[in-house]
Amino acid sequence: MSDRLEFMKEAIKLSENGMKNNDGGPFGCVIVKDGKIIGRGWNKVTGTNDPTAHAEVTAIRDACKNLGTFQLDGCEIYTSCEPCPMCMGAIYWARPSKVFYANTRQDAANIGFDDSMIYHEITLPLTERKIPIEPLGREFALEIFNEWSNKLDKTKY
């Protein structure tokens, strides 16, 4: 059996353990670098009252803490389910080299984790979304963006 399948089985095991402990839904994730697991996560939404505590996000936080960096260059992500839109955003920000998933988004929808509304909403103009989104205070916020643009000691990412 391949190492990749073993890493996926570990992610699936985390999904089962988190579910059985009532931490959240049945989702798990491991992050691998150079053939070693450097980050683990599982869904902790209900256990922590944190809607962002999805398996991929908790695994990214763990891996970045363990690596001492905010990027996952050269890492692979193994997740028990196709990442939701929020987790995909976090994955793109972390910049791993590859993502493997087991269950599909349709499998998740079939058990009550349906993200189709979010996928649809992000394609709509801001004025047509279910949650009103409107600009406010841009002239003040632009001052800080200008400061950032001129800041000499910033860490680029």
Contacts with 100 (C-beta within 8 Å, 6 or more apart), sequence order: 4, 7, 8, 76, 77, 78, 79
CA pair distance 81, 106, nearest whole angstrom: 10
Catalytic residue among 10, 56, 76, 128: 56
Q: Which of 130, 112, 107 is nearest to 120 (CA)?
A: 130
Is 56 in the active site?
Answer: yes
72 close to 84: Cβ distance less than 8 angstroms: no
Q: What are the phi and psi torsion angles at 115 (to 5°)?
A: -100, 10
Query: Which sequence positions are flagged as catalytic?
Result: 56
